[in-house]
Amino acid sequence: MDENKALVRRFLEAMGEGDLGAMRKMMTSDFVDRSVLPGQESDREGYLRGIAEEDDTFSIISFSIEDQIAEGDKVVTRYRSRAIHDRGEFMGVAPTGKEAEVPGLIVHRIVGGKIAEEWGESRGALELMQRLVDQERIERERVEQELQVARRIQQASLPKEVPTLEGWQIAEHYQPAREVGGDFYDFHLLSEGRLGLAVGDATGKGIPAALVMATTCGMLQLAAQASESSSPGEVLERVNEALLVRIPTNMFITCFYGVLDPKFGSLTYANAGHNLPCRRHNGQAEELRARGMPLGLMAGMSYEEKEIILAPGDSVLFYSDGLVEAHNPQGEMFSAPRLRRLLAEHPTGAKGLTASVLEELERFTGEGWEQEDDITLVALESSTQ
């Protein structure tokens, strides 16, 4: 009896170590695995293949025998094992990195000093499978709930409508990615008919990015309206100082802020590290450059201001990096130079401009494209003749 129990202990220890050669030596040639699950019975080689598959899927942390009972030619063993699902797919679930501890009860029949039959309760494997599947499902549900909250925060922070200005066309397009990012745009109605325009992107994804994005939108609104004589550079300076103590140290925000005076066609602007807007003038496209660090990185920052005059027919496209950093199937980026070429050729009208950009993006990325980041477009055009 003790010899039979010792044989089973050696067999199970070899199983925990994935030592198939040692296991084969301890099994009869006509070994049969008689699982309690219908259709799961297998011979010796089939049984060993199953052990090999488990070894390719799990890293065994520990394997301990808690109790054994021997009666006649049979040995009943109660054991407990701990494993990490880190090597391969298990029952359709990709490696999760999760650790599981499961109990097991197994019966072996011994013939001639070798193991001839095994009856496994299978509870351990089934419990492990169920735990992994449940953990994966709970994690997916948690992430999806987080993304839904982030989407609602983003949508609530974006303008409900585009301002109407006589002699001007404004069009916008916001296309969220599969995972929520921190893109935003906003319009500020200022004194003397002027319009403040902001386009930005908070680093990160999910709820943190959505909260920082919403906070930045609110601060820009307050800074722009607190003193309506403030210039775009001063607005960005105030928001930068306010954000420094209100966002995590590993986050920052890029933001372009401009003030349009529709009567004179002047656009005064400053840029806090955001993608350079493109202006179309006389069939040529140029970038609107202004130096400035992203918001929330360093105290005491100042932001360079510049001014342009938009003539009738001129247009400006403001956008986020999700556009120019989109990749095609060959791994090439859409890129700012491609965007400038497209802008120089686009038909007149703000809506026509955004439509042209989106059509070219679709052609460039092709079918089955998985959007990597949010895409935000705001087009402004002087239509006064």
Question: Looking at the predicted structure, is the pLDDT value of residue 205 above 90?
Answer: no
Domain for residue 153, yes or no?
no
For residue 209, the model assigns a pLDDT of: 85
**Domain end position, chosen among 145, 169, 195:** 145
Domain for residue 312, yes or no?
yes
Average per-residue pLDDT for the chain: 88
Question: Looking at the predicted structure, is the pLDDT value of residue 202 above 50?
Answer: yes
For residue 123, the model assigns a pLDDT of: 46
Q: Do 197 and 126 fall into the same domain?
A: no
Question: Looking at the predicted structure, is the pLDDT value of residue 228 above 80?
Answer: no
Domain for residue 331, yes or no?
yes
For residue 18, the model assigns a pLDDT of: 85
Domain for residue 190, yes or no?
yes
Task: Name the least confident of 13-22, 24-33, 55-64, 190-199.
Answer: 55-64
Of the pLDDT bands very low, low, confident and very high (cuts 50, 70, 90), residue 41 is low
- pLDDT tens by residue, 278-309: 999 988 999 999 999 999 999 999 999 999 99
Question: Looking at the predicted structure, is the pLDDT value of residue 92 above 60?
Answer: yes
Question: Looking at the predicted structure, is the pLDDT value of residue 167 above 80?
Answer: yes
For the segment 163-185, the average pLDDT, to the nearest whole number, is 87
Q: Do 261 and 371 fall into the same domain?
A: yes
Cross-sheet strand order for the sheet of 42-43: 42-43, 27-33, 114-120, 99-111, 74-85, 58-71
Q: Do 186 and 300 fall into the same domain?
A: yes
For residue 382, give the nearest of 229, 195, 231 by alpha carbon.
195
Provide the domain limits for residue 74: 2-145
Q: Which residues does residue 184 pair with via DSSP β-bridges, in sequence order?
A: 200
Measured distance CA(184)–CA(325) in Å, rounded: 17
Please tell me the total count of domains within the chain: 2
Q: Do 130 and 72 fall into the same domain?
A: yes
State pTM to two decimals: 0.67
Of the pLDDT bands very low, low, confident and very high (cuts 50, 70, 90), residue 39 is low
Q: Do 107 and 212 fall into the same domain?
A: no
Of the pLDDT bands very low, low, confident and very high (cuts 50, 70, 90), residue 147 is confident
Question: Looking at the predicted structure, is the pLDDT value of residue 36 above 60?
Answer: no
What percent of the chain shows pLDDT beyond 90? Answer: 57
Q: Which residues does residue 201 pair with via DSSP β-bridges, in sequence order?
A: 183, 254
Q: Do 167 and 294 fall into the same domain?
A: yes
Q: Do 290 and 164 fall into the same domain?
A: yes
For residue 210, the model assigns a pLDDT of: 85
For the segment 157-183, the average pLDDT, to the nearest whole number, is 88
Q: For position 248, which CATH number holds? A: 3.60.40.10
Domain for residue 179, yes or no?
yes
For residue 206, the model assigns a pLDDT of: 75
Question: Looking at the predicted structure, is the pLDDT value of residue 130 above 70?
Answer: no
Q: Which residue has the higher pLDDT, 122 or 264?
A: 264
DSSP codes joined into one string, 114-175: EEEEEEE--HHHHHHHHHHHHHHHHHHHHHHHHHHHHHHHHHHHS-SS----TTEEEEEEEE
Q: Which residue has the higher pLDDT, 346 or 257?
A: 257
Taking CB atoms within 8 Å and a gap of at least 24, the contacts of 92-99 are: 93/132, 93/133, 93/136, 95/57, 96/132, 96/135, 96/136, 98/131, 98/132, 98/135, 99/61
For residue 17, the model assigns a pLDDT of: 84
For the segment 227-232, the average pLDDT, to the nearest whole number, is 78
Domain for residue 8, yes or no?
yes
Q: Which residue has the higher pLDDT, 328 or 204?
A: 328
- pLDDT tens by residue, 263-279: 999 999 999 999 999 99
Q: Do 168 and 131 fall into the same domain?
A: no
For residue 16, the model assigns a pLDDT of: 82
Strand 27-33 to strand 114-120: parallel, antiparallel, or no bridges (unpaired)?
A: parallel
For residue 374, give the nearest of 128, 155, 188 by alpha carbon.
155
**Domain end position, chosen among 123, 145, 167:** 145
Q: Do 141 and 214 fall into the same domain?
A: no
Q: Do 219 and 268 fall into the same domain?
A: yes
Q: For position 49, which CATH number holds? A: 3.10.450.50
Question: Looking at the predicted structure, is the pLDDT value of residue 383 above 70?
Answer: yes
Task: Name the least confident of 179-183, 205-209, 252-256.
Answer: 179-183
Domain for residue 151, yes or no?
no
Q: Which residue has the higher pLDDT, 310 or 120?
A: 310
Q: Do 134 and 215 fall into the same domain?
A: no
Domain for residue 31, yes or no?
yes
Q: Do 172 and 203 fall into the same domain?
A: yes
**Domain end position, chosen among 116, 145, 174:** 145
- Count of CB atoms within 10 A of residue 357's CB? 22
For the segment 226-255, the average pLDDT, to the nearest whole number, is 90
